[in-house]
Structure 1
Amino acid sequence: MENSNVDLSLKSQILQLNNIFEDILEKTDDPGLKSSIASELKKQINSLIKLEHKLKKAEKKNHEISLNQISLVKKKLFPEKKLQERYDNMIPFFLKYGESWMGGLKSELNPLDPNFMIFIDED
Structure 2
Amino acid sequence: MPAFRVLIIDDEISLLKSLSAFLEDEDFDVIGATSGEEGLEILQRTKVDAAIVDMRLPGMDGNETIVRAHRLQPSLRFIIHTGSTDYHPPAALSDIGVDPGAVFHKPLPDLAVLAEAIRSVCG
Higher strand residue share: 2
Higher helix residue share: 1
Structure with greater contact order relative to length (CA < 8 Å, sep ≥ 6) = 2
- TM tier, shorter chain? under 0.3
Give TM-score, length-normalised by structure 1: 0.22
Structure having the higher Rg: 1
